[in-house]
Amino acid sequence: MTVITPESARVEVLKLRAHGEYADFSEGPAIAQALRNGDEYLDLDQLARGVQRARIGVELGAHVLPRRAIHEDTWRKIRRHLAAMLG
């Protein structure tokens, strides 16, 4: 049985990005300023929470992947992968 840790889940999700999407992954508080109220994102440190929506005044985690930062096909692949991982 494979144990899924937050770190291994994050690595698996990041592997699903298409070539050239790496630059759109953001770390730290700068991404909070780039997200608008209601934008969808994944907190890569808390993938079990699934897709979240940005809200004004809510502090984001350190590793955030905004939906609009990647291609729609990649977003769908990530969502399917998460569903399979989380059951």
Q: How many CA atoms lie within 13 A of 49 on its CB side?
A: 13
Q: What is the pLDDT of residue 40?
A: 93
**How confident is the model over 43-77, as pLDDT tens digits?**
888 888 889 998 887 777 777 888 888 889 989 99
Examine the pLDDT at 31 and tell me if it is beyond 70. Answer: no
1 inside domain:
no
Scanning the structure block, which residue is given the tokens 């399917």?
80
User: CA nearest 64: which of 5, 14, 12, 16?
Assistant: 14
Sign of the torsion angle spanned by Cα atoms 45, 46, 51, 57? negative
* Structural domains counted in the chain: 1
- Residue 75's domain comprises 6-86
This prediction has a pTM of 0.74
Neighbouring C-beta atoms of residue 61, cutoff 10 Å: 17
11 inside domain:
yes
Split at pLDDT 50, 70, 90, the class of 23 is very low
56 inside domain:
yes
Q: What percent of the chain has pLDDT over 70?
A: 75
